[in-house]
Structure 1
């Protein structure tokens, strides 16, 4: 299931402090398997139930970067959206995401440098209201002046 806000582009000229966008996605076994293939990260904590049961997580978990990718989706599709260039992202992993978890990824604009077209955003992902990942993104936003 994927529930998200409208996609498109918000140009730097229209971005304001406090703007937020989000998406919600259920992380599936298939998502984890596909991410393992694309990333070449086949750590058994993500793919092997028997192995994962004997870890500190006591079961399989999604790749942390799969969860972080949901933040990228919000930024690239919604705020600022199409034409955005990622400049940086800090991440702190707070709790595991498991197959079947519904993850809500959200970004909030905290700073804008209109002259440089740079937007800083607080970013986080949550499962059932519990923050599982948090960080900060800095992006180059599209501008109508460069259409």
Structure 2
């Protein structure tokens, strides 16, 4: 299930303010994990094999960290700023595991705007319930009415 507060188009840099936020919620399924393993070619058994994962520090299967991070990319590419955005940089720390069945909320918030360079600094985070599972910062080239 994917729930999002989609825009009808990009949010141009001229319309942004510090503190502006967007998010999406997604429940991570076994199929999501299998498809991500196929596309990424990351078949680490901690993601795919119950018996193997039970013997790890996680005590069960977990989603790929980059699958969780991809939800941040979805918010940036589809909502804030949206279509026409160019990703320049992303830092992130993985703070807790995401498990099959968890609902992840990916959130993006405008921290700073450089109108001259059309660059926007974004706080990026993912939470499962009250637990922050990912935190980072992105720098993007935002779409502008000026082209």
Q: TM-score, normalised by structure 1?
A: 0.98
> For 1:6 and 1:97, how far apart are their aligned partners in 2?
24
> For 1:93 and 1:50, how far apart are their aligned partners in 2?
23
1:6 shift after superposition:
1.7
Q: Is there any run of 5+ residues in structure 2 with no aligned partner, and where?
A: none
Partner of 1:103: 104
The ranges of structure 1 where at least 4 consecutive aligned residues each deviate by more than 2 angstroms after the TM superposition are none
CA-to-partner distance for each residue in 1:18-63, whole Å, 9 max, x for gaps?
Answer: 0000000000000000000000000000000000000000000000
1:129 shift after superposition:
1.8
Partner of 1:121: 122
Partner of 1:71: 72
> For 1:26 and 1:129, how far apart are their aligned partners in 2?
15
1:87 aligns to 2:96 (yes or no): no
Q: For 1:38-49, list aligned pairs within 5 A.
A: 38-49=39-50
Q: Aligned to 2:146, what secondary structure does the other structure show?
A: helix
CA RMSD of aligned residues (A): 0.5
> For 1:117 and 1:40, how far apart are their aligned partners in 2?
35
> For 1:110 and 1:133, how far apart are their aligned partners in 2?
17
Q: TM-score, normalised by structure 2?
A: 0.98
Provide the aligned length of Structure 1 versus Structure 2: 146
